[in-house]
Structure 1
């Protein structure tokens, strides 16, 4: 029996022994829940690692730097915070830009309304002056006795009516080739510098402001009322105008406002002596003189002057040179300047 038992043990294969050994290792002894958690993640301390506690107080994790999911979550949340900040800054910039557009639109609307109001006031003042002149003529006619009234010829009465009609209409009554709306422009390279006003300022958001400067294009526009003019420092200046077409200029017209509606209550800033030159092109050094004249606002506010263009030369560039004014040493104001190819009504007689 002993010999047979020994033979049976010796005949057992190595594979069966390894199977039994593996079964023994794969069937662990029963342990408690706490022991399972501790054995599942044994606390190991390594050099260059840090320990992060899990939400479960019985579990701790030792991880290397840069390999933890918690670090990835923190970096993701940090990126989300930066994205939110960028989005807030962008929305704030868009909101500020919209507010700026609204402010600019309101300023433009206020400027347009102010210009319309000033134009209406100028029209009302002109109509009042016309009515006053009509009343004055009517008083003169009423003062004339019946005997003298019968002696007045129909021609004189008609002349008075024509003078009144000239006040109601533009007494020039010919085409203006220096009109801005028809395409006439200012050559600023050969135009005197405009005067910067110390009393009027443009402002931006109530923070930035700069002096208001009148534009020489104002003399090409038909709207004539106080302040809507071109003003240059001193008593001498010049402006080069490109006409809307190449013409044979025969006359020019100069206009100023009445001293009754003028801010200075006088004609000291009105032009006095001036000359007119014709240029065939913009870069011509010297032009042809077409005449030198004197403007007297006490005689008439709108005065036309016949040019000396005997050889009927055609020009598209006309230069106005102001040589003096009526006493203002600081500045000169020009309200309107016209160029004609036909003689105005004033010069036909």
Structure 2
């Protein structure tokens, strides 16, 4: 009888504790975005803190939580992911995107920024292409240094496109001047050639000039240039799958020229 009474007492205490715990949870804010209001009649509904809008390098918004959010980083992470997915928004297909299957197949001498030049030479020799070459075919999201650095003021890069296309325009991207003090390593006078290559033994058969232009660091960091008039008139007859970017000068750096991103726009042949 004593054991049964003891169990009844413990059960009663357990129910009381569960009731108190439920009351405590009902009074707890799961995500504390601001001071807790005492009564709804005194302060009204709780306002969600404002989120400041800042333009990113492509002109789109980038959300940054203000100081009211404090340690709550959930909004920041979600906003970065959402706007990173649209940061590449030129609304034009890029057939030189590495994520779409394009590759760098040749280039001039790269600049090795480390103290072990033999490591850079080894990585280049292994497949003929430097391991940083993929950076120029991928979004940089405005990060300084996320580029393909080539030695000197002039050089070239050869890219195999995802598939044969009719080219329409070329886009060159460099880092924003708001995040670096010096953009003298940006390419300046550029010449782009292209050709159709069926296999690696074809070489540069039927190579022609796609476009010639100058990248101006005083303008937008993302600049698009149309193909020459003769190429535009040729329409579907000018089908290419290989593109070579040649730069004869940069904006002043005697050490290196950095290609942050190259994009090749066009459409599939209609015939």
TM-score relative to the length of structure 2: 0.57
Deviations 1:183-239 (A, max 9, x none): 101112xx212111145x59xxxxxx8459762221111134111110111111111
- Report what 2:209 is aligned to: 289
Unmatched runs of 5 consecutive residues or more in structure 1: 1-126, 135-164, 203-208, 343-349
C-alpha contact (below 8 Å) 2:193/2:209 kept by paired residues:
yes
TM-score relative to the length of structure 1: 0.45
How many correspondences in the alignment?
173
- Report what 1:226 is aligned to: 144
- Aligned mates of 1:130, 1:285 — CA distance in 2: 42
C-alpha contact (below 8 Å) 1:194/1:215 kept by paired residues:
no
Deviations 1:239-274 (A, max 9, x none): 111100100001010000112323xx1210001110
- Aligned mates of 2:196, 2:91 — CA distance in 1: 26
C-alpha contact (below 8 Å) 1:214/1:230 kept by paired residues:
no
Q: More relative contact order in 1 or in 2 (CA 8 Å, sep 6+)?
A: 2
Q: CA deviation at 1:291?
A: 1.5
Deviations 1:64-88 (A, max 9, x none): xxxxxxxxxxxxxxxxxxxxxxxxx
- Report what 1:316 is aligned to: 241
Residue pairs, 1:27-176, within 5 angstroms: 128=54, 130=56, 169-176=87-94
- Report what 2:254 is aligned to: 329
C-alpha contact (below 8 Å) 1:180/1:220 kept by paired residues:
yes
C-alpha contact (below 8 Å) 1:214/1:231 kept by paired residues:
no
Deviations 1:77-123 (A, max 9, x none): xxxxxxxxxxxxxxxxxxxxxxxxxxxxxxxxxxxxxxxxxxxxxxx
Q: 1:300 aligns with which of 220, 223, 227?
A: 220
C-alpha contact (below 8 Å) 2:193/2:245 kept by paired residues:
yes
1:244 match: secondary structure: strand
C-alpha contact (below 8 Å) 1:256/1:336 kept by paired residues:
yes
Compare the two structures and name the one with the higher helix fraction. 1
- Aligned mates of 1:210, 1:177 — CA distance in 2: 31
- Aligned mates of 2:247, 2:219 — CA distance in 1: 19
Unmatched runs of 5 consecutive residues or more in structure 2: 1-52, 61-82, 124-129
| Matching of residue 269 in structure 1 with residue 185 in structure 2 | yes
